[in-house]
Structure 1
Amino acid sequence: MTRRGVIAAVLGSAVAGHIVLGVVAGGAALTAIRAYAAPPAEPVFPAPARPVSPIVSPRWSTERARNDAGEARTVIAALAPLNGRTVADIGAGEGYYEPPLAHAVGRKGHVIAEDIDAATVTRLARRVRPLANVAARLGRPDDAALAPASVDVVLMVHMYHEIGEPYALLWRLRRSLRVGGRIAIVDADRPSGEHGTPPQLLACELGAIGYARTSSRPLGDGVYLAIFEPRALPDTIRVCR
């Protein structure tokens, strides 16, 4: 082999080595990227095989009772740090969580307060008007209408059991999450027809759309907080029973 041929062979091997190393080193990163990539074409979404609680009121209880329970403080602390982040409060009702969330995300952060009832959103918009970093938004039962890769935390408080199309909603929420994004759900540990969601049923329904539960903690009085992150999408959506 000529001297030029030897040099070419050595350089070729070196380049190939870098390519192989790059592929190996990038494997974990590619796995993470796939988890947050935009979902492929939407499937036909099945209906849940469980009772769906009716929406009784946009208020959970009196705000004084909620303050005394300290739930919002505990939940927001569990999601910290939120400064500079974007939080979407799905089913925000009349906006109890919005003032503390606005404070937690700070001037550089944003809070999207979403609800599916137009009259409720009108009242919600009125309440959050003084909060420069909070915007009220009307969504649909199957789509919160969030922009792609726009949200760091999706929060659902005492409303998951009222979602009539959970698989469609959860699928579409995936595309709104930024890398590292989370879904945080607060609900009561009781049957879904009685205004609650058993933790295992919740984990099953989110798992059917490729979310993994990363943490869970009791909040008192049978209420719990569960946090999920997206993983690989499943080949099929299996209805939980």
Structure 2
Amino acid sequence: MHGVGGIEGEDPTFDQARQPARVIAALGIAPGQHIADIGAGRGYFTLRLSDAVGPEGQLVSTDVDDAVIQQLRMRVSARKNVVVRKVGPDDPGLEAGAYDLILLSEVDHFLSDRAAYLMKLRAALAPHGRIAVTHLRAMRPPLVAAAQAAGLFIASEDTSLPDHYLLILQPASSH
């Protein structure tokens, strides 16, 4: 079990591979934004994202697993800007047009239909909203194909992470 880096229970080896501070910086989150952490698990990025949006922002963290959701709720219980939601495997559980940023970190390979799920995430984006995906480099080709099928384009890519990619996707109609 890996904890959140910089927070109790962190695993420095895991953080070295994942580079969480670099990922958060690359996301360009502004205080006050409304963001979502899809498939948040035990909250590897949740606390960092909560810090990034600040007290005026809101973070919605989702997962499909009851036990993980319970652990996540306990971890964030003192944070007023985090909402934890249990969702179905094909339903992101996000309001339409509401999110400045949606993060998927090492979860897209679990989706039964990546393109259909990305279409649902696209509908949840606010104007100029972005979807960020980070995963192992070997997982990039199916994600890129699904993004194109969902009408998303790669707005930017960070290739400086040791073993992972970070893609920022936006709706094709917004560029």
- The match for 1:183 is 131
1:201 aligns with 2:142: yes
1:213 aligns with 2:154: yes
**How many angstroms apart in 2 are the aligned matches of 1:118 and 1:165?**
22
| Residues 58/164 of structure 1: CA separation in 2 closer, same or farther (3 Å cut) | farther
| Residues 69/222 of structure 1: CA separation in 2 closer, same or farther (3 Å cut) | closer
> Is residue 3–residue 11 contact of structure 2 (8 Å, CA) maintained in 1?
no
TM-score, with length taken from structure 1: 0.65
May I ask how many residue pairs the two structures share in their alignment? 169
Of all paired residues, the percent bearing the same amino acid is 32
**How many angstroms apart in 2 are the aligned matches of 1:81 and 1:117?**
27
**How many angstroms apart in 1 are the aligned matches of 2:18 and 2:163?**
14
Aligned-partner SS, 1:224: strand
**How many angstroms apart in 2 are the aligned matches of 1:173 and 1:72?**
22
| Ranges in structure 2 where 5+ consecutive residues have no aligned partner | none
Q: Which of residues 157, 164, 167 is equivalent to 2:115?
A: 167
1:64 aligns with 2:3: no
Superposed CA RMSD: 2.2
Higher Rg of the two aligned structures: 1
**How many angstroms apart in 2 are the aligned matches of 1:184 and 1:73?**
15
TM-score, with length taken from structure 2: 0.87
**How many angstroms apart in 2 are the aligned matches of 1:77 and 1:91?**
20
1:96 aligns with 2:40: no
Q: How far does residue 219 in structure 1 lie from its aligned partner after superposition?
A: 4.1
1:80 aligns with 2:28: yes
> Is residue 18–residue 162 contact of structure 2 (8 Å, CA) maintained in 1?
no
Q: How far does residue 169 in structure 1 lie from its aligned partner after superposition?
A: 1.3
Q: How far does residue 58 in structure 1 lie from its aligned partner after superposition?
A: 8.7
**How many angstroms apart in 2 are the aligned matches of 1:107 and 1:75?**
21
Aligned-partner SS, 1:220: coil
Q: How far does residue 69 in structure 1 lie from its aligned partner after superposition?
A: 4.4
